[in-house]
Amino acid sequence: MPRLFDRVTIAGVGLIGGSLALAARAAGLIGEVVGYGRTEANLQTAQRRGIVDRYSLDAAEAARDADLLLLAVPVKASGAVARACAHTLRPGAVVSDVGSVKQPVVEQVEASLPAGFTFVGAHPIAGTEHSGAAAAFPELFQGSRCILTPGRRSTADAVAKIRALWEGVGMRVDEMDPARHDQVLAWVSHLPHAIAFSTVTALLDADPGMEQFAGSSFRDLTRVAASSAEMWSDIFLDNATQVDAAITQFIAALEAFRRAIAAGDAAQLTTQLLRARAARQLWSPART
């Protein structure tokens, strides 16, 4: 595949930004990679691992003459970082992001960018519970899905290039309205994270000594509770309405479960279990 971008600035060289740099570079999709972040130790790790060619702690300096600015910082920081980088980008540069929430990020970034820049929202649905440049690896995106949310600052050419970038690192790409994205992700990502964090909290409140007897079911259910608190607090608050709706419906389902157990209603309990089991056996969810 031909090179898509000559100089890429990755703002936030963590798990996602770092993994994209490694994968896109290995596929020959991008040229020079410049990192931007808040702490030098993380950027030094990125340089040592070959994720970035060079870095700067100054946003404008890191963005100088880049033809792609990839915002891979926590979602709340995206607008401010886009604003800080914009005036030194190459004229006509494409700005994109990887944020797990789309509607507020798209609004923030579109409002922050001067005229003449295109912005294409994107969300690669792939991740781990680990953070920072040390956690990045090039195979992260292989076989998973990516959602693009083109908006009023997107051009067909920029959308095609961002699509080619994510397809080039092994993802299946779909396009969606930002509001629909946030509704879907509230269910398939934000609710499971809320349940994982809450399950650990409930156990800590009940008796933390029980944890040592946990088997794979507890480990699988709570794996993502080891994720970044900074990132997840942003995501829950930025998608508060949709997350609230999903949690409310989950509590109703859990309450129905509790009622069937409390009533000793084996028929009702079995009906619920069989319905969920049949659906789960049919699904082959995207790897995340």
Q: Which of 20, 89, 171, 231 binds ligand NAP (CB under 6 A)?
A: 231
Q: Which of 38, 258, 275, 277 binds ligand NAP (CB under 6 A)?
A: 38
Nearer to ligand NAP, 183 or 228 (CB): 228
In angstroms, the Cα distances linking 10 to 14, 70, 121, 203 are 9, 5, 15, 39
Q: Is the distance from CB of 42 to CB of 12 less than 8 angstroms? A: no
Site string (162-201) toward ligand NAP, x via CB under 6 A? ----------------------------------------
CB of 169 to ligand NAP, least distance (A): 13
Q: Which of 8, 15, 85, 86 binds ligand NAP (CB under 6 A)?
A: 15
Amino acid symbol at 132: G
104 belongs to the binding site for ligand NAP (CB under 6 A) = no
CB of 109 to ligand NAP, least distance (A): 12
CB of 26 to ligand NAP, least distance (A): 18
Q: Is the distance from CB of 182 to CB of 239 less than 8 angstroms? A: yes
CB of 139 to ligand NAP, least distance (A): 15
- The runs of H, that is alpha helices, within the chain are 15-26, 40-48, 59-63, 78-86, 103-112, 156-168, 178-185, 191-206, 216-222, 229-238, 240-262, 266-282
124 belongs to the binding site for ligand NAP (CB under 6 A) = yes
In angstroms, the Cα distances linking 24 to 27, 36, 37, 253 are 5, 18, 20, 42
Sequence length of the chain is 288
Which helix (H) or strand (E) segment holds residue 118: the answer is: strand 118-125
Please tell me the count of residues contacting ligand NAP according to CB under 6 A: 28
127 belongs to the binding site for ligand NAP (CB under 6 A) = yes
The DSSP secondary-structure symbol of 71 reads E
35 belongs to the binding site for ligand NAP (CB under 6 A) = no
72 belongs to the binding site for ligand NAP (CB under 6 A) = yes
